[in-house]
Amino acid sequence: MTTRSSALECRFCKAPLRTSFVDLGMSPLCQTHIAPDQLGDMEPFYPLHAYVCDDCHLVQLQEFVAPDSIFSEYAYFSSYSSSWVEHARRYAVMAADRFKLGAHSRVMEIASNDGYLLQHFVAAGIPVLGIEPAANVAQVAIDKGIPTTVRFMGRASAADIAREHGKADLLLGNNVLAHVPDINDFVGGMKDLLAPGGTITMEFPHLLRLIEGVQFDTIYHEHFSYLSLVTVERIFAHHGLTLFDVEELPTHGGSLRIFARHTEDTARPVGERVHALREREIADGYLGTERYQGFGERVRETKRKLLAFLIDAKAHGKTVVGYGAPGKGNTLLNYCGIRTDFLDFTVDANPYKQGKFTPGTRIPILAPAAIREARPDYVLILPWNLKDEIARDAAYIREWGGQFVVPIPEVTVF
C-alpha cells in the first residue's frame, strides 16, 4: 500500500496548519474490511487528527494514503440504502425540471458509484456519464446499462473526458468533495468540464451540523476535508465558479447541496439562500478560530457516555449487536475501543461486507438475518443517519423486547 506523509499545510491555501480540531488517535482505513484469511495479518493504522486552517478555515486531515489505495476497490455501494436511492430519484426529478434537461443534454456524475442516481436520468431519456474511480463499483453501473468511465477526477481527466464525451450541462457529485486530497485540482477540473451555461451541484456533510451534533464519527481517512459554506464559496471562487444557490438537507446528519455556475455566467444572480447561510455562518464564528476549539472535549464526553452505557448493559447480562458497517461506524468503534467484548457482531445488507470483519476492531459482519436468530437486547445503529430506515426494517426486534440505540450526539435508547 502506498503511503504518503504530507507537510502540515492547508490543502487549499497552503498556510501552515497549527490549530487542532479533534484528535481521534490512530485508526485503520474505514472501508478495508478484513477477510477471514487476513485475521492474522498486520493492519496499518494512521493518525486520525483533524486540523483547521487559521486562514481559510478548511477543516482537514493530513493525507497518509494515496487515493488509489483507498478508492480503486471500494466496499460502499449506494444502492443498498433505499432511502438514499429515493433521495437520488427526487434530485433527478428536480434537476431535470429546474435545468430543462432532455435528450439534448449531458449529465455527468463524479463518484457515480453503482449508478444509484444516474439510473433515474437514464430512465428519463437523458444522456449520462458516470465518472467513478473504483472499478468494482463502476462495473455494477455498467452492467445496469449506465455508461461509466473509471477515473479519478482532476484537471487532466477532465480534459480527457471533455475531448471524448463533450462537456457537462449538469455536473454533479454527492459526498465526493470531501473525499479528494487535492481539492484545487478537483474543483479546477470541474470548471474545465462544465459547459457554458452549465450547472454544478455538490452535496457534502455540513461542518456546522457536524460541530453542533458532535458528529465526530464522520471523520475518517477517506474524508480529507470538512466543509462550511464560507470555505467552499472561497474555494470555488478561486477557480472561477460562483455559488448561486444552496439547500440545507437532512441527509448524513445534515448536508449542504450547493449550486454553482461559471463566474462569467452572470444570468443567474447569487440567491438569498446563499447570502442568508453565509451570514449565519459568519455570525456563528466560522471565520474565526474560537468556534472550532472545544470540539475535542465534547467528543471525549460522547465517548465516555457511550462506554458507560455499554459497560452497564454488559454488567446486567444484556446482549448488544450492531447494525451496519459504515465508515462512520468504524471511526466510532476504533476511537471508543469497542470490540466483541461489547458487540457480539454487526450486520450489513451489503453482501460485499458480509463474512468479513470490521477494520481494527475485528467484529464479525453478518447478514441482517443474524439479528432475528440472536434476539439481542440492544441493537446499536452505527449509520445513525439512517436510523429511521433501519428501525423500520428491523422493527421485528420489538417481538422479544429489543431496543435500538443511537450513539450520536447523545446515547439514545428507543
Residue 43 counted as domain residue: no
Residue 381 counted as domain residue: yes
- Determine the angle formed by the axes of helices 229-238 and 272-283, rounding to 10 degrees: 120
What's residue 83's pLDDT? Answer: 79
Residue 276: how many other CB atoms lie within 10 Å = 11
Query: Same structural domain for residues 157 and 284?
Result: yes
Please identify, among 292, 319, 354, the residue that sits at the C-terminal boundary of a domain. 292
Query: Same structural domain for residues 132 and 190?
Result: yes
What's residue 75's pLDDT? Answer: 53
Residue 111 counted as domain residue: yes
Q: Record the pTM.
A: 0.88
- Choice among 80-84, 332-336, 347-351, 354-358 with the minimum mean pLDDT: 80-84
What's residue 70's pLDDT? Answer: 56
Query: Same structural domain for residues 314 and 283?
Result: no
Strand partners, 49: 23
Please identify, among 263, 292, 321, the residue that sits at the C-terminal boundary of a domain. 292
Q: Could you list the residue range(s) of the whole structural domain that residue 250 is in?
A: 71-292
Residue 208's pLDDT band, with cuts at 50, 70 and 90, is very high
Percentage of the chain modeled with pLDDT above 70: 94
What's residue 67's pLDDT? Answer: 63
Query: Same structural domain for residues 87 and 235?
Result: yes
* Model confidence at 5: pLDDT above 50: no
Residue 278 counted as domain residue: yes
Query: Same structural domain for residues 362 and 247?
Result: no
What's residue 55's pLDDT? Answer: 96
* Model confidence at 344: pLDDT above 60: yes
Residue 19 counted as domain residue: no
Query: Same structural domain for residues 80 and 199?
Result: yes
pLDDT tens track for 84-143: 889 999 999 999 999 999 999 999 999 999 999 999 999 999 999 999 999 999 999 999
Query: Same structural domain for residues 139 and 256?
Result: yes
Residue 26 counted as domain residue: no
Residue 404's pLDDT band, with cuts at 50, 70 and 90, is very high
* Long-range contacts of 287-292, Cβ-Cβ distance < 8 Å, separation of 24 or more: 287/57, 287/230, 289/19, 289/52, 289/54, 291/211, 292/19, 292/21, 292/52, 292/57, 292/59, 292/211
Residue 401 counted as domain residue: yes
DSSP string, 119-168: HHHHHTT--EEEE-S-HHHHHHHHHTT--EE----SHHHHHHHHHHH--E
Query: Same structural domain for residues 158 and 180?
Result: yes
pLDDT tens track for 272-304: 999 999 999 999 999 999 999 999 999 999 999
Mean pLDDT within 240-245:
98
Write the CB contacts of 162 (distance below 8 Å, at least 6 apart in sequence). 192, 193
Residue 180's pLDDT band, with cuts at 50, 70 and 90, is very high
CA distances to 1, 9, 29, 132, 268 from 6, in Å: 16, 8, 17, 25, 39
Total number of domains constituting the chain: 2
Q: What is the CATH number of the domain that holds 326?
A: 3.40.50.720
pLDDT tens track for 145-178: 999 999 999 999 999 999 999 999 999 999 999 9
Query: Same structural domain for residues 404 and 266?
Result: no
pLDDT tens track for 351-377: 989 999 999 999 999 999 999 999 999
Please identify, among 264, 292, 320, the residue that sits at the C-terminal boundary of a domain. 292
Per the structure block, which three cell numbers stand in for 11? 490543502
Q: What is the CATH number of the domain that holds 250?
A: 3.40.50.150
Rounded-to-integer distance, Cα 284 and Cα 279, Å:
9
What's residue 220's pLDDT? Answer: 93
State the number of CA atoms in the 13 A half-sphere of 346 facing the CB. 29
Query: Same structural domain for residues 234 and 312?
Result: no
* Model confidence at 76: pLDDT above 60: no
pLDDT tens track for 15-57: 999 999 999 999 999 888 999 999 999 999 999 999 999 999 9
* Model confidence at 4: pLDDT above 50: no
pLDDT tens track for 375-397: 999 999 999 989 999 999 999 99
Write the CB contacts of 1 (distance below 8 Å, at least 6 apart in sequence). 44, 65, 69
